[in-house]
Every structure is written in C-alpha cells, then in structure tokens.
Structure 1
Amino acid sequence: MKFFNRLFRRDSNLGDFERAAAAAQAGDYEWALAIWERLAREHKMPRAQNAIGACFSEGWGVERDIALAARWFELAAQGGDAIGQRNLATLYFRGEGVTQDYAKAAELYRQAAVQGDAQAQDMLAWMLLEGTVIPPNPEEARRWSELAAAQGIPSSMTRLGMLYHDALGVTRDPAKAAHWWAQAAQLGEADGQAMLGAAYHLGSGVERDPETALMWLLRAQRAGSSLAHSFLAPMRGTMSEAQVNNAQRRSEEPL
C-alpha cells in the first residue's frame, strides 16, 4: 500500500483529485480524504466536496455519518456538481440525514439530469411517471428515459418498454416494447426479463415462443422480479417436460 501511494505521489501528470481517487480505489481513504479536504476547503472544489460526502455516506475511512454527508453533498450541489446533486436528491428522497422532501429531490434530480447524469435522468423519469409529488408526465418521462437508456441504464430501457406497451405518452407499439425489454433483459434487468418473457408467452411484439418465454421468466425470478411469478405456473402446465428442461438449461447459461 505504501509503495502504491508513493507511486501516485511521484506521478506529476495526475491531478490532485485523480491521485486521491486512485488512492481511495486502492483502499487508502485516509490519504484520499486529506487531499479531498484540502481541495474542498481551500479551493471549494465541488467534486471533492461530493467525494467527502460519499465517504461519510458509506463509511469509507471515517465513521458513517449521513447528516454530515448531506452537508457535504449540499456544498457540492450548490457548486453545480451533478453527482453531488444526485446524491443529495437521493437523501431527500429517502429522508436520510435530511427531512424527507420529494419535491426537493425531484428538483435536484432535474438539475443533475440536465447536466447529463444518467442515474438522475432515470430517477427523474420514474418520478415523472409515478407522479411522486410532481404531476405525472409520460411524455417527459419518455424523454429522460431515452437519454438514460442511451447511456446504458437498464431500468430506463424497461420503463420505455412499459410506456410503449401501455401507450403512455406514445402510440401503443408492442414491437417497440419488446425491443426495449430485450435490451434491458440482455443487461440483466429483472423486470425487463420478466416482461420480455411475458411478451414471448403472449406473442406480443415478438413471435410466440413458450420455451424462450419460460427461459426469460426463470431468469427474472432468480434476479428477484415479482412480475415473473404470475406467468410461471400456468406456463409450465402447458409445456412438455422436454421444453421445460430445455428452458431451465438455457436460463442458466451466461447472457
């Protein structure tokens, strides 16, 4: 560990923040925090303020203190750091270290989403669709979901499938719904796998294929999706033993 730290201290091409991040990744939080605190206090660097907040939030190198994490995230958010805005939004959403405030959470998620933070885009889309404090807006939820999906967020892909399946802010399109569920399913998103399995079971947007349907539903069940359960028992009752065994085998293969 000491050699690792000396190595990064000698590399003048790495900025202070990056050197601290590398040290933290290697487990040397004490040294990382010393650098981040100097950058946060002396240079008012929002990204460093967020990093300190993350350490207090997770208990990395310090005793876990959510209230103190919230104060550091607040400084980072005020300085315009998108990750700090998203982290603070999550605390407001959960009511951890701050008084629970969904409206404040939505405002902060939006600030981070506008800056391109994919996780914030995904969460804002969810809030817009569920109508959590802010009025439901499927059209805007779709827009943020598309932006997050383009950055590889599987839950946004699943949400897009639901929007096209249920005709929420878009024209109903089973093929597009199945397309988005397939994208999410390949990335291991449990509900996307369940919905893709249901699509193959019903022949909705894809050609009906009971074996492939069962394969995806079994994957979804193992991944923790509650959506898979209602389809599994009825499907098994209509399939041959060979089909069920083949679907089981396929469900255990790597994606």
Structure 2
Amino acid sequence: MKLLNYNIFLLAVIYLIWMPLVIADVAETVVAEDAFKQAMEFYKQNDFAEAKSGYEKAATQEHAEAQYYLGLLYDIGEGVPQDFIKAVSWYRKAAKQGLVQAQRAMGTMYRDGKGVYPNFAKAKQWYLKAAEQGFAQAQFNLGMMYNYGQGGSQDLAQAEQWLKKAAEQGLVSAQYHLWIMYRDGGGDIEQVVAWFRKGAEQENAAAQAYLALMYYQGEGVTKDLAQAASLYRKAANQGDFAAQYNLGMMYEKGLGVPQNLVLSYQWYAVSANRENEMAITALEQLKTQLSPEKIKEGERLVQQWTKKHTQ
C-alpha cells in the first residue's frame, strides 16, 4: 500500500511540474499564430512595417511561416532595407522546419548567389527537399536545373520527370517548357495542349496565351487564327502584355480578325504602357499610318480599357 501511495504521489508531482510547461507551450503557440495572422493582414494592406513587427514576434517563437515571410521582406526589401544575408538567415530557420516555400527560397538563394556564395549543388538539394513534398514551383526549378546541367551533368530525363510533376499540378511555366522539350526532341504535344486548354478554361492568362500561340502556329492543333485571336483577347484583357502585343499585330495585319488599325493602336498602346519594347516600336510605326483623328480614337479606347481593367 505504501508503495502504491508513493507512486501516486510521484505521478502527481510529475503532473504538477509538466502541465504548466505544456500549458505555457500551447499558449506561446496561440500567441505566435495570432501574431502571424495579424501580420498577414498588415501585409495584404501593404503596411510592411506593422507586418514586420508581427512576423518578428511569431518568428522568435519558431513560427515557420512567420520566419519565411520575414525572410521574404528582407529578400525583396519591403518595409526594410533589402538584406539578402538576413533573408537567408530567416529562410533557413523555416526551411529546417520543413516549410516547402522556405526550402524553395533557399534553393533560389544558392542558385542565384544572394546572401550566400552561388552553389548549384546546394540549390538542387534544397529544391529537392521541397519537390519531394510535392511543391510544384520547386519541382519546376529542379527540372530546369537538370535541363541546363546546373550542379551536375545535363539530364533531360530527370528534367522531364520533374517538369511533368509540376505540369500535372497546373503550373503553366512547367507546361510551357515541356512543350519546348517535346517540340525539339519529340514528345506528347497533345498532353501539353490538354494542359493549356484546362488552364485556359480556368481563366489562366498564361495558358490562354500559350494555347493561342499553338493555334496561331498550328502546332498540336489545327491552325485557327480566329481561335488564336479569341484566346489572345482573353489573355490580353487579364493584362498579359505579350498577348496584348500579339492581338495588336493580328488587328494590324487582319489575321483571324478584320483589319482594324484603331484597335491595333489600342492593343499596342496598352502593351506599350507595360514597357513592352516590341509594342513601343510597333506603336511608333503605326502612328505614321494614322490620321490625328484615328490616333485620338485609339487613345480613347486605351483610356476606356484602362479604366475598366485597372479598377
């Protein structure tokens, strides 16, 4: 009986010591999460100084996402002076906790030599950690390193494998680079068309623009200039400056649409406003063919489009 009472007493002592520690740990976790959520609200409002304060509060309590976003602020210089060394320091803390965004960021810092010496081998290691967790952007980055032979010999099979994993998750940049690989070396172009079509149906501007290019060139699909123009228009209305330029060119030449130099002016000008050099050059050349009245009408359309699509 005495032994039993002693064991009960011992358990009670352990409980009394352990429970406050558990409660304190839970409380710290709640405080860190609340600070992070508040910081994210400030970040969305472009109040980077307040966001930084919240991220720091959570990051010092080992909140991985807060550590990542604090690194991001230093990486791009929002609310703080740009400091790649500090960015790497915070990215690394989050990456070691397994946060895929931070692992990918570490890969990019080593690839580009920002805050660390360039090291393709380490870049691939970090990209791989995130890629193996299914992070599409890291899968794309890893695939491109294999494609260019960075950090080792070129390995197109590995490149295709990782790009395909990212493409299957809907990453349009991976789908595009697979298209280039398949075009040059043979491959399933129909699959690329299917990916672009799915993305286009989901209003992805890049997918719409790439699918438009396939219709324009007749690659993987039957050539259809009207369909190309339609898809370029959808992407252009979402702000894709390359699609805006291409649509302007189609109106100038009457490809897939009736020739209309005023509409051509509109789309060249909208694209030129995004500092697209090709559009700037095309617009200057087009102005020599238009009367002052036509240019005025084109400018009216530009203002009308800008007001509608930048609200």
Q: TM-score, normalised by structure 1?
A: 0.69
CA contact (8 A) 2:212 2:229 kept: yes
Structure 2: how far apart are the matches of 1:136 and 1:147?
18
Structure 2: how far apart are the matches of 1:86 and 1:108?
6
Partner of 2:291: none
Of 116, 128, 143, which residue of structure 1 is paired with 2:146? Answer: 128
Change (3 A) 1:56 1:211: same
Cα deviation, residue 111, structure 1: 1.0
Partner of 1:164: 182
- 1:154-200 Cα distance to aligned partner (Å, 9 max, x none): 101212323433346xxx3343343344456662328x845x45643
Structure 2: how far apart are the matches of 1:115 and 1:246?
50
Change (3 A) 1:247 1:146: farther
Of 101, 119, 124, which residue of structure 2 is paired with 1:101? Answer: 119
Partner of 2:188: 173
Of 55, 59, 67, which residue of structure 1 is paired with 2:73? Answer: 55
Cα deviation, residue 55, structure 1: 1.3
Per mean C-alpha deviation after superposition, the further-off stretch among 132-141 and 93-102 is 132-141
- 1:197-236 Cα distance to aligned partner (Å, 9 max, x none): 564355442123244457768979x7449xx99xxx9x99
Structure 2: how far apart are the matches of 1:145 and 1:209?
28
Structure 2: how far apart are the matches of 1:210 and 1:30?
50
Any idea what SS the aligned residue of 1:245 has? coil
Partner of 1:29: 48
Question: Counterparts in 2 of 1:179-218, with a 5 A limit?
Answer: 179-183=194-198, 187-189=204-206, 193=209, 196=211, 199-201=214-216, 203-213=218-228
Structure 2: how far apart are the matches of 1:242 and 1:54?
44
Change (3 A) 1:247 1:154: farther
Change (3 A) 1:142 1:246: farther
Compute the RMSD of aligned alpha carbons: 4.0
Of 56, 59, 68, which residue of structure 2 is paired with 1:40? Answer: 59
Change (3 A) 1:156 1:183: farther
Structure 2: how far apart are the matches of 1:202 and 1:184?
19
Structure 2: how far apart are the matches of 1:22 and 1:86?
24
Higher RCO structure (Cα 8 Å, ≥6 apart): 1
CA contact (8 A) 1:118 1:147 kept: yes
Larger radius of gyration: 2
Stretches of structure 1 that go unaligned for 5 or more consecutive residues are 1-11
Change (3 A) 1:223 1:133: farther
Change (3 A) 1:182 1:167: farther
CA contact (8 A) 1:130 1:136 kept: yes
Q: TM-score, normalised by structure 2?
A: 0.59
Change (3 A) 1:166 1:181: farther
Looking at secondary structure, tell me which structure has more helix per residue. Answer: 2
Cα deviation, residue 53, structure 1: 0.8
CA contact (8 A) 1:37 1:48 kept: yes
Structure 2: how far apart are the matches of 1:118 and 1:64?
27
The percentage of aligned residue pairs carrying the same residue is 28
Structure 2: how far apart are the matches of 1:49 and 1:90?
17
Which AA in structure 2 matches 1:188?
A
Structure 2: how far apart are the matches of 1:73 and 1:29?
18
Change (3 A) 1:37 1:201: closer
CA contact (8 A) 2:85 2:114 kept: yes
Partner of 2:258: 245
Change (3 A) 1:199 1:17: closer
CA contact (8 A) 2:42 2:50 kept: yes
Partner of 1:4: none
Structure 2: how far apart are the matches of 1:68 and 1:32?
16
The number of residue pairs the alignment matches comes to 229
